[in-house]
Structure 1
């Protein structure tokens, strides 16, 4: 066992320029830690986890990369399943913006820094795989006592850099173990798997970024050219290089004796400078020719098999018209611009497999929206809704995951399939997800990560394919900050977030009124609202939102003698005092004015605190920008300050 004091003495020998048996990449990193970062090997650099607010900023900046990389990460995680590996995707600053690990080891992983939000820059953590990879730009393994800081010496970490299409290092993929065999060579397979995953992530990013240009993919073997190429470049119509994977940059640089670390010397150059190829020759390298005949030569004589992918034709996509939005989604609201924009967003997301989080006040229609997403998705399975706040805590696990015969006293002798399995092939709607017990959140996280469910009392997990939509009237970000909701589960659930406006802010209020009244039309009756009744309803604050409006109209239609709903037909609290026909002088009106003034002043103070940045104010208030703009206009707030 390598002691702490021996580790410090070895670092001191390196500081004096004495030889050591360490890899050169480790020695150079130790020297940077001592000379540049001024780190003390005798002082512990414990794992640092960023505060939630800063982590959100880093994740938002890396949103596109995380989206493209996610399928590659999940595939890699499945390849090493059961071997206790943890996957970290870190940005250019060394901050972990995506994380995959066994939830059973969460406490140990967080303590070791193998967790979402951990910072692994070399200046912060000393010699580590992520930090050294950022410094060198190359794949490497930092194994146990290779780490500069003694706190991290139990870890074995392998990392590979991810480059963007311009050749700049943009992220690092790391695969780590809390404990591992003594030999560093034990991580050779991990290094190969990480490198292959990074190569595929870069290729997917290049294809997404330059889909309207030529893409030329390379392989040393014709058998793998079309299925798993080693490198790629993108070329514009004039034959100039406009993008590349890291492997592509190395091919180009090597062909002319240049340095791949200076991508500016590669981007913008004609492809003929690097390859014996002109842009007119690209059609000859498409799949119309046999793979073995698609051979190109670099200027240094290197022979490569190549596959050219033709540009996708650009089509001008117009904004969705209301008639193009699927009917289940169109039924959610009127044709006000803000509502139409929300419906178009919902229609696009419904066709994906992305998990969606719906935020909105109680009664604002979250379950109706979830059903519309399901109906617009094309999924063949059913829609299964679970109210996480309504199921007793002692029953929720068996309700969600089912149970085996005889799993507990009172269990059915045949066992029971859980609600998650019942949603297979369809949509699982988790309403009031913020009220799910912490212990059960871990179980749900495993279901989402591994796409399988283990019934209570069972030993063999069952595969399950579901689309997850969740909802909460409580701000989940605050619950995460309070430690009442798992951060990793939060990021699993809200790949996309939809915010339903409260009824008092709905610009299609009249449309909603008309639709609800239509439902209560029967026996030839078509109830309408008297002008004063409509005014009373519009001035109400609607804490119960659409559910409350539905109840009010149901009572009014039941009490109404004719087809016109008068103020006296509305429930208590809506009608003016007897003999008072002047709405402007009513106590209700005066109270509404006071309430409005109070809310207006509150909004003005929030805007002032945010330096009149509407986006920041909306974020702090937990609403969208359009709601803030409507309230500014409603309360007559002057924004020129």
Structure 2
């Protein structure tokens, strides 16, 4: 098709002409013409965002990327020989993860199939990622389906990834620089992408289910325990607390609801959707044969279910409101001098009103520590967490301070209480405070100084009283020196500082590992690591710290058989270097490998799949000197 023919076909759609293209393509063309005012005759080069902006998008998506990475790598190995490129885009259409043949990097970057490319419809016109974001459906945009002639050589297939609360979180796309002419040639690609997305959503749900009951579903009993099609989670009161996209569709269909309105599903009692109560559903464990785990849905259809019991059962109250019977500080870590010192700080500072700043790498558990500080404080109010990096400047006032009815176009008729006021009488946790914009810093400083907030559209300030705990993976003192963070705000937040060590430096790593295995296990099916898998886990450097470890164990727990995690169940990026004969103790393993290598630390590190620095640190931990 010529450029002129392509432009004429798109313009004819705006005049109501019929075309042989899929309805979703025609609808996307109309959005491009009518909503975004795009000109089909004006070619646009692919957009690659700046390094700074890409870093911000990747930081906001890091949790999902870590969970998704193993699934992406497996999918890429399946399709790489067909020259596919994988893109993981966030909900704004920016590519935050990319897998492709490095030898084609120049061509891929030029085509926009590269890290940092933006594929939103307003920016790129009709494309798979943008149309997927707009519709929430899996789809293929093939060659001249694209709005912009620049992209017509491409064939792109995408599927949406939803978070556990039913909101669109990301889009997984696989694309070809050139492809067979027929659009149907991409049907198998669509199947691969949709299957990978389903597994990513399941792993994400498992990683965040904590103490909730998990229910997995399949249409046939043979696939129930090996490849479930959907899943939901229930809190202690038997209400829906989370779901995969497949789970959302099952629940919505059962009651004639719209899955695009997850607020109508989350929080509802499970008995509204199933012909069973929570106790009957919780009994559908592996103690029964798969064919005996049938469950009827309210619309009359039948599914097979597998229940995974929560780590700790609750009695008639949501898990989110439950306070653990274990003393708060006891959950911090193992019995090491480092953790003992941190516990003493929490005990002594917890009941004061001093603002506390928590410093530590991403994923070290800063919010977890902040919640423990809140639990130890004795405060009766809520713990309210705010991700400072995620609130745009234009929304700072309405999000933090709230607004009155009619304050602006689109405001709720009843108004809305701001996040700061929600924390009145409790703890306000300011996460990633180092990424807060200068405008937001100024407004926050005023609240802390005056102890009151003024809702948007209001004239009378409201008094607030809360404890402030803030956290950052960046050095706030260094940001102050560079003029990137207000010094007066820094000193208001930093009356006391707590530093969380990286996972690779924690002496209580084995204790923490066992606690996470307990968390992801279930009654009757505790999780455990084989000796070889334990060596891989203890030897890996964990740049994503506890969050990465938690996600990896959730992923492995979903794949393993009978609760035993083997090396093959672990995410591939951990590095599966063949190990010597597995033994029961890490110390014995290290000594055996070093002995086999005649004391050569570099060779021993290579065999163990770790770097020299990590091996030296572990040798010091076990007081292992040079063998020769």
TM-score of the two chains, using structure 2 as the length reference: 0.56
Pair 426,338 (structure 1): closer, same or farther in 2 beyond 3 Å: farther
Matched residue, 1:144: 143
Matched residue, 1:42: 41
505, 515, 521: which one pairs with 1:346?
Answer: 505
Take 1:158 and 1:377, find their aligned partners in 2: how far apart are those partners?
50
Take 2:306 and 2:271, find their aligned partners in 1: how far apart are those partners?
16
Instruction: Give 1:44 deviation, angstroms.
Output: 1.1
Q: Deviations over 1:82-115 (max 9, x none)?
A: 1111111000100001111111111111111111
Pair 79,281 (structure 1): closer, same or farther in 2 beyond 3 Å: same
8 Å CA contact retained: 1:162, 1:172: yes
Matched residue, 1:281: 280
Take 1:59 and 1:221, find their aligned partners in 2: how far apart are those partners?
38
Matched residue, 1:126: 125
Instruction: Give 1:3 deviation, angstroms.
Output: 1.3
Instruction: Give 1:240 deviation, angstroms.
Output: 0.5
- Aligned partner of residue 18 in structure 1, secondary structure: coil
Pair 155,424 (structure 1): closer, same or farther in 2 beyond 3 Å: farther
Q: Trace 1:38-117 onto structure 2 (pairs within 5 A).
A: 38-117=37-116
Instruction: Give 1:270 deviation, angstroms.
Output: 0.4
- Aligned partner of residue 123 in structure 2, secondary structure: helix
Matched residue, 1:561: none
Q: Deviations over 1:357-388 (max 9, x none)?
A: 99xxxxxxxxxxxxxxx9889778679xxxxx
- Aligned partner of residue 20 in structure 1, secondary structure: coil
Structure 2: which 5+ runs fail to align? 313-323, 340-495, 514-536, 546-578, 580-585, 596-601, 618-624
The structure number with the bigger radius of gyration is 1
Matched, 1:7 2:20: no
- Aligned partner of residue 192 in structure 2, secondary structure: helix
Pair 237,133 (structure 1): closer, same or farther in 2 beyond 3 Å: same
Q: Deviations over 1:7-47 (max 9, x none)?
A: 11110111111000100000000000000011111111211
Matched, 1:220 2:219: yes
Take 2:123 and 2:241, find their aligned partners in 1: how far apart are those partners?
35
- Aligned partner of residue 202 in structure 1, secondary structure: helix
- Mean Cα deviation higher: 78-87 or 152-161: 78-87
8 Å CA contact retained: 2:504, 2:541: no
Take 1:420 and 1:42, find their aligned partners in 2: how far apart are those partners?
60
Instruction: Give 1:119 deviation, angstroms.
Output: 0.5
Matched residue, 1:243: 242
Take 1:261 and 1:33, find their aligned partners in 2: how far apart are those partners?
22
Take 1:235 and 1:357, find their aligned partners in 2: how far apart are those partners?
28
- Aligned partner of residue 296 in structure 1, secondary structure: strand
| Root mean square deviation of aligned Cα | 3.3
Take 2:191 and 2:158, find their aligned partners in 1: how far apart are those partners?
10
TM-score of the two chains, using structure 1 as the length reference: 0.55
Matched residue, 1:203: 202
Matched residue, 1:318: 332
Instruction: Give 1:321 deviation, angstroms.
Output: 4.3
Q: Deviations over 1:564-590 (max 9, x none)?
A: xxxxxxxxxxxxxxxxxxxxxxxxxxx
Take 1:159 and 1:420, find their aligned partners in 2: how far apart are those partners?
44
Q: Deviations over 1:393-437 (max 9, x none)?
A: xxxxxxxxxxxxxxxxxxxxxxxxxx99992442245x9xxxxxx
How many matched pairs?
375
Matched residue, 2:397: none
Take 2:23 and 2:278, find their aligned partners in 1: how far apart are those partners?
42
Matched residue, 1:179: 178
- Aligned partner of residue 342 in structure 1, secondary structure: coil
Take 2:245 and 2:158, find their aligned partners in 1: how far apart are those partners?
15
Structure 1: which 5+ runs fail to align? 326-336, 359-373, 384-418, 432-468, 471-497, 499-518, 520-641
8 Å CA contact retained: 1:382, 1:425: no
Instruction: Give 1:277 deviation, angstroms.
Output: 1.2
Instruction: Give 1:342 deviation, angstroms.
Output: 2.9
- Aligned partner of residue 54 in structure 1, secondary structure: helix
Pair 378,241 (structure 1): closer, same or farther in 2 beyond 3 Å: farther
Take 1:149 and 1:54, find their aligned partners in 2: how far apart are those partners?
24
Matched residue, 1:255: 254
Take 1:421 and 1:17, find their aligned partners in 2: how far apart are those partners?
70
Q: Deviations over 1:484-536 (max 9, x none)?
A: xxxxxxxxxxxxxx9xxxxxxxxxxxxxxxxxxxx9xxxxxxxxxxxxxxxxx
Q: Deviations over 1:42-86 (max 9, x none)?
A: 111211111111111111000100011111101111111311111
Instruction: Give 1:341 deviation, angstroms.
Output: 3.9
8 Å CA contact retained: 1:352, 1:377: no
Q: Trace 1:101-500 onto structure 2 (pairs within 5 A).
A: 101-313=100-312, 317-322=331-336, 341-342=500-501, 346-347=505-506, 348=509, 351=538, 353=540, 356=543, 423-428=606-611
Q: Deviations over 1:463-502 (max 9, x none)?
A: xxxxxx89xxxxxxxxxxxxxxxxxxxxxxxxxxx9xxxx
Pair 343,238 (structure 1): closer, same or farther in 2 beyond 3 Å: closer
Pair 53,229 (structure 1): closer, same or farther in 2 beyond 3 Å: same
Take 1:381 and 1:32, find their aligned partners in 2: how far apart are those partners?
62
8 Å CA contact retained: 1:68, 1:205: yes
Q: Deviations over 1:106-164 (max 9, x none)?
A: 11111111111110000000000000000000000000110000000011000000001
Pair 233,422 (structure 1): closer, same or farther in 2 beyond 3 Å: closer
Q: Trace 1:12-31 onto structure 2 (pairs within 5 A).
A: 12-31=11-30
Instruction: Give 1:4 deviation, angstroms.
Output: 1.1
Take 1:298 and 1:154, find their aligned partners in 2: how far apart are those partners?
45
Matched residue, 2:361: none
Take 1:147 and 1:25, find their aligned partners in 2: how far apart are those partners?
12
Take 1:139 and 1:345, find their aligned partners in 2: how far apart are those partners?
39
Pair 290,44 (structure 1): closer, same or farther in 2 beyond 3 Å: same
8 Å CA contact retained: 1:94, 1:131: yes
